[in-house]
Amino acid sequence: MKSVRFLHIADLHLDSPFIGLKKLPEQIYKRIRESTFQSFTRLISLAIREKVDFMIIAGDIFDQENRSIRAQARFRKELQRLSTHSIQVYIVHGNHDHVGAEWYEIEWPDHVHVFKSDEVEVKTFTKDLNSRVHIYGFSYPQRAVTENMTKYYTKKEDADFHIGILHGSVEGAKEHNQYAPFKVEQLLQKKFDYWALGHIHKSQVLSNQPLIMYPGNIQGRHRKESGDKGGYIVHLTAEDAIPTFHKTADIIWEHVSISINNMSKISELIDHLFQVINGYRKGMEAVFLSIELTGNGELHPILMDSLVLEDVLHMIQEGEEELENFVYVISLKVYSQIKIDRESIKSEASFLGDLVNIIDSYDYTKDAINPLYGHPIARRFLDELTKAEEEEILKQAEELLLNSIYNQRSIGGHS
* DSSP H or E run through 26: helix 26-49
Q: How far is CA 203 from the centre of its chain?
A: 10
Q: Looking at the structure, tell me whether residues 262 and 392 fall in a common domain.
A: no
- Residue 344 is assigned to a structural domain of this protein: no
User: pLDDT-based confidence at 407, cuts 50/70/90?
Assistant: low
What are the phi and psi torsion angles at 154 (to 5°)?
Answer: -115, 120
The helix/strand/coil state of 166 is: strand
Residue 283, pLDDT > 90, answer no
Q: Which residues contact 33 (CB under 8 A, 6 or more apart)?
A: 18
CATH number of domain containing 92: 3.60.21.10
Query: Averaging pLDDT over each range in 239-253, 300-314, 343-357, which range is the top one?
Result: 239-253
List b or e across 347-366, with b for residues whose CB sees 16 or more CB atoms inside 10 angstroms: eeeeebeebbeebeeeeeee
Q: Looking at the structure, tell me whether residues 136 and 74 fall in a common domain.
A: yes
- Residue 68 is assigned to a structural domain of this protein: yes
Q: Looking at the structure, tell me whether residues 84 and 119 fall in a common domain.
A: yes
The helix/strand/coil state of 91 is: strand
Of 104-108, 176-180, 387-391, the poorest mean pLDDT is in 387-391
Q: Looking at the structure, tell me whether residues 234 and 174 fall in a common domain.
A: yes
Show which of 196, 218, 247 is a domain's final residue.
247
pLDDT on residue 355: 81
The per-residue pLDDT for range 57-87, each reduced to its tens digit, is 999 999 988 888 999 999 999 999 999 999 9
Q: Looking at the structure, tell me whether residues 225 and 314 fall in a common domain.
A: no
The per-residue pLDDT for range 305-314, each reduced to its tens digit, is 889 999 999 9
Show which of 337, 358, 375 is a domain's final residue.
337
Residue 415, pLDDT > 50, answer no
Q: What is the mean pLDDT of residues 390-410?
A: 64
Q: Looking at the structure, tell me whether residues 207 and 286 fall in a common domain.
A: no
Residue 239, pLDDT > 90, answer yes
Looking at the DSSP bridge assignments, the partners of residue 136 are 122, 164
Tally the C-alpha atoms within 13 A of residue 47's C-alpha that lie toward its C-beta: 29
pLDDT on residue 405: 66
pLDDT on residue 308: 94
- Residue 342 is assigned to a structural domain of this protein: no
- Residue 49 is assigned to a structural domain of this protein: yes
Q: What is the mean pLDDT of residues 107-117?
A: 95
pLDDT on residue 266: 95
Residue 384, pLDDT > 80, answer no
- Residue 39 is assigned to a structural domain of this protein: yes
Residue 413, pLDDT > 50, answer no
101 vs 390 pLDDT, higher one: 101
Strands 194-198 and 211-214: parallel
pLDDT on residue 369: 73
Structural domain count, the chain: 3
Q: Looking at the structure, tell me whether residues 285 and 154 fall in a common domain.
A: no
User: pLDDT-based confidence at 380, cuts 50/70/90?
Assistant: low
Q: How many whole angstroms separate alpha carbon 93 and alpha carbon 99?
A: 7
- Residue 176 is assigned to a structural domain of this protein: yes
Q: Looking at the structure, tell me whether residues 189 and 281 fall in a common domain.
A: no
Q: Looking at the structure, tell me whether residues 256 and 237 fall in a common domain.
A: no
Q: What is the mean pLDDT of residues 181-189?
A: 98
Q: Looking at the structure, tell me whether residues 167 and 257 fall in a common domain.
A: no
Peptide bond into 17 cis (omega under 30): no
Residue 235, pLDDT > 80, answer yes
What DSSP state is assigned to residue 2? Answer: -
Q: What is the mean pLDDT of residues 16-38?
A: 88
Average confidence score pLDDT of the chain: 89
**Nearest-10 Cα torsion for 63, 64, 65, 66:** -140
Residue 105, pLDDT > 50, answer yes
Show which of 337, 359, 390 is a domain's final residue.
337
Q: How many whole angstroms separate alpha carbon 279 and alpha carbon 258?
A: 13
Q: How many whole angstroms separate alpha carbon 81 and alpha carbon 87?
A: 9
Find the domain containing 74 and state its range. Answer: 3-247
Q: What is the mean pLDDT of residues 207-218?
A: 98
What are the phi and psi torsion angles at 258 (to 5°)?
Answer: -125, 130
Angle between helices 69-83 and 26-49 (to 10 degrees): 30
pLDDT on residue 287: 97
Q: Looking at the structure, tell me whether residues 154 and 33 fall in a common domain.
A: yes
- Residue 411 is assigned to a structural domain of this protein: yes
User: pLDDT-based confidence at 250, cuts 50/70/90?
Assistant: very high
- Residue 345 is assigned to a structural domain of this protein: no
Q: How many whole angstroms separate alpha carbon 390 and alpha carbon 177?
A: 12
Q: How many whole angstroms separate alpha carbon 398 and alpha carbon 352?
A: 11
Q: Looking at the structure, tell me whether residues 82 and 156 fall in a common domain.
A: yes
